[in-house]
Amino acid sequence: MTQHQVEISVIPKIAEIGQLVWDSCACPEVSDGGRPNDPFTTYRFLSALEDSGSVGSGTGWQPQYLVARVDEQVIAVAPLYVKSHSQGEYIFDHNWAHAYEQAGGRYYPKLQIAVPHTPATGRRFLVHPDFAETGFSVLVQGAIQLAADNQVSSVHATFCTEAEAELGAQLGLMSRATQQFHWLNNEYKDFDGFLADLSSRKRKNIRKERAQAQGFGGDIVTLRGTQIKPEHWDAFWEFYQDTGARKWGTPYLTRQFFEIAHETLRDDMALVLARRDGEWIAGALNFVGRETLYGRYWGCVEHHACLHFELCYYQAIDIAIGVGLKRVEAGAQGQHKLARGYLPTQTHSLHWVRDAGFSEAIGSYLKAEREAVEEDIEILTQYGPFKRAEVEEQE
């Protein structure tokens, strides 16, 4: 394929691309009848964000979906947004923006290839399997050209896969390493099987926390698919609003997002709710991929000891073991996850900056940052709750 045969276009609404075309690039693996690798780049998720007003006018996330075609056939797409701020990304570049503008530049708007409000790893350059060799580079070149033509400061692809990070670096993009805490399923048969891999002290601590949490005076239920009813979203919206107000000032997702999710995304979800005296008091929302459970949102209207750990971390492990998933991604940040079996894991992003001098400075920073992240992961892993191979603690 030669370059002049490829047409790159920018589409402001995903509906103009269409579900069949988008998903043929975003999740071709569902052709075997299984789940997508992750639900966040599917048409149904991205269109729910758009149709609910969670992205678009007034949000700072303006959709400009990148589409590559050859002879009218779509060969690759990317969820690209024009950003007027750095909120809802979880890969922090606020210091870059400040330095850029202190030097007299204009950092915003920038281009972001990402899933809005979602710090979950997945493909960001969505290439049709028949065009695997060329689709990635075409999208990268298209995004850079779009930024250059419009004198935009930078392009960022956040929470991409490790393979994409390596390919992007080969094409001259800057690769950034950050970290999250993920739980890995070592073919456990049940939660006790997981606990058996932990040191005696950590195992006892987790059992104590679970007992405290489950003694809150009510019951905990996990709802999937059609088990999730409108009343559950009414309760969860109250929890989500409280958390969003405390963390971000205002929630990122609108109430309508959950109404649309009820119709189109329930099969991708596992909603864990706690109820006391007939009232829902806390909840955690997870998304289910082919191999991974993604912990996304938590909130409560009553505070009980260890209930957050139970609903967000231990129930997620139970679900993953029960359906045979390989890992749980527990979202951004949080070293408290380490003691609960979630180990530090490297995450990846790619960056291009139009100003050559600033790009060189960021490149030097990213090199030092990567070394620090790798060292941090090594140290934190040593402090994890798992038994040491060389010496097991006395039971």
The upper half-sphere exposure of residue 323, i.e. CA atoms within 13 Å in the direction of its Cβ, equals 20
Q: How far apart are CA 42 and CA 23, in angstroms?
A: 6
The separation between the first and the last C-alpha atoms of the chain, rounded to the nearest angstrom, is 63
DSSP E strands, the chain: 6-11, 61-63, 65-70, 73-78, 80-83, 110-113, 126-127, 154-160, 174-184, 219-224, 269-276, 279-288, 292-300, 327-329, 343-353
Q: Domain extents for the chain?
A: 3-179+345-382, 186-325
Q: How far apart are CA 63 and CA 366, in angstroms?
A: 28
Q: What is the pLDDT of residue 391?
A: 38
In DSSP terms, 275 is beta-bridged to: 219, 280
Q: What is the pLDDT of residue 283?
A: 97
Q: What is the pLDDT of residue 86?
A: 96
Q: Do domains 3-179+345-382 and 186-325 have the same CATH topology?
A: yes
Residue by residue, pLDDT tens for the chain (395 residues) are 444 589 999 999 999 999 999 999 999 999 999 999 999 999 999 999 999 999 999 999 999 999 999 999 999 999 999 999 999 999 999 999 999 999 999 999 999 999 999 999 999 999 999 998 899 999 999 999 999 999 999 999 999 999 999 999 999 999 999 999 999 999 999 999 999 999 999 999 999 999 999 999 999 999 999 999 999 999 999 999 877 666 656 789 999 999 999 999 999 999 999 999 999 999 999 999 999 999 999 999 999 999 999 999 999 999 999 999 999 999 888 889 999 999 999 999 999 999 999 999 999 999 999 999 999 999 999 999 998 743 344 34
CATH among 3.30.465.10, 3.40.630.30, 3.40.1390.30, 3.30.365.10 for 186-325: 3.40.630.30
Give this prediction's pTM.
0.94
Q: What is the pLDDT of residue 247?
A: 62
Q: Are 77 and 68 in contact (CB under 8 A)?
A: yes
Q: What is the pLDDT of residue 5?
A: 84
* List of residues 6+ apart from 7 with CB closer than 8 A: 68, 69, 70
Please give the class, per CATH, of domain 3-179+345-382.
alpha beta
Q: What is the pLDDT of residue 388?
A: 74
Residue type, 87: Q
Neighbours of 242 (CB within 10 A): 14
